[in-house]
Amino acid sequence: MTSSPPILKTLLPGLGERVLVMGILNVTPDSFSDGGRFEGVEAARSQAGALVAEGAALVDIGGESTRPGHTPVSAEEEQARILPVIRDLAPRLAVPISVDTYKASTADAALAAGARIVNDVWGLQREPDIARVAAAHGAPVMVMHNRETIDPAIDIIADMLRFFERSLDIARRAGISDRDIVLDPGIGFGKSWAQHLEAMRRLPEIKALGFPVLVGVSRKSMLGRLHNAETKPVDRLFGSLSSHVLAATLGADIVRVHDVAPHVDALRVVDAVMRTAP
């Protein structure tokens, strides 16, 4: 697992050589940061074009908010939101599209419409058939750690390792190669405040498993907690940048962000220091 993943390397040729930026495109009415801003094909097309122009290596499209307290939507509603957008963007964009879903039927429809990667916030465990779908389409998977409940007493990294072991078993049984899997510690999901920080601090332990690592902290509420005053998600750029620079320094290969251009600039410094051979 030390070599670059073949399918991922084809889709993301810079993987492992520099930190890649995944641009977020939520086509939902209720996402915590940008809900309602990019609904509809024209608005989504404009935003996707801007993300790529700013340097995004891939665009992550989601049709269901996963913020705390979100209202679940049916697969039919999720697909009605994302499929027209994916069909429109897939032939236009110079970078691959990942679909942010945990539903097997949505992943199947999205991959058929032109998405190339599955980004599952439940690590293939909410609907394990999603792994078979990904394998059938030859799509890499991004496997995120998550929990139904927060338990401040547990060792969160030990919990992640057990979780990822289950996810990897599902993926392998479905025929997905280890070389087509990315791990995500799930910052902001199913963890206490202290566990969010612990997950960031101990990121090298996840990286040591031998897979590319994705981290997404962009505009999340844990950043707002560090401010002396109440902040809106859009006001958390500096916290997002510092979190992702830290994650990249600790081994993250991909960062998932709303603000692409500032991250591309900041990560050039990380790459120059951490990834350039002496």
For 100-158, the pLDDT digits (tens) are: 999 999 999 999 999 999 999 999 999 999 999 999 999 999 999 999 999 999 999 99
pLDDT of residue 275: 81
**Rounded to an integer, what distance in angstroms lies between the CA atom of residue 105 and that of residue 82?**
13
Exposure string over 207-217, b if 16+ CB within 10 A, otherwise e: bebebbbbbbb
Beta bridge partners of 120: 143
Give the three-state DSSP class for 102. coil
Residue 120 CA to residue 102 CA, distance in Å, equals 5
User: Is 1 within a domain?
Assistant: no
pLDDT above 90: percentage of residues in the chain: 79
Tell me, rounded to whole angstroms, the distance of Cα 197 from its chain centroid. Answer: 18
Q: What is the CA radius of gyration of the chain?
A: 17
146 domain-assigned: yes
Across the chain, mean pLDDT equals 91
Per-residue pLDDT at 32: 44
Give domain status of residue 100, yes or no.
Answer: yes
Task: Report the CATH number that the domain containing residue 257 is assigned in CATH.
Answer: 3.20.20.20
Q: Is 249 inside a domain boundary?
A: yes
- Alpha carbon distance 105, 145 (integer Å): 21
Structural domain contains residue 35: yes
Q: What is the mean pLDDT of residues 62-88?
A: 88
Query: Which residues are catalytic, by number?
Result: 220, 256
**What residue type is 76 in one-letter code?**
E
Domain that holds residue 44: 6-10+18-267
pLDDT one-digit tens code per residue, 189-228: 999 999 999 999 999 999 999 999 999 998 877 776 776 5
What percentage of the chain carries pLDDT values higher than 70?
A: 90
Helices (H), the chain: 6-11, 41-53, 75-89, 104-113, 129-137, 156-174, 193-201, 203-207, 221-224, 237-249, 260-270
46 domain-assigned: yes
Neighbours of 152 (CB within 10 A): 10
Looking at the 3D structure of the chain, how many domains does it have? 1
Q: Structure tokens of 126?
A: 């909410």
The reply to whether 274 falls in a domain is no
Specify the amino acid at residue 264: V
Instruction: Quickly state the pLDDT bin for 68 (edges 50, 70, 90).
Output: low
* Residue 275 placed within a domain: no
Q: Please give the Cα distance from 27 to 101 (Å, whole number).
A: 12
Assign 213 to helix, strand or coil: strand
Q: How far apart are CA 254 and CA 95, in angstroms?
A: 14
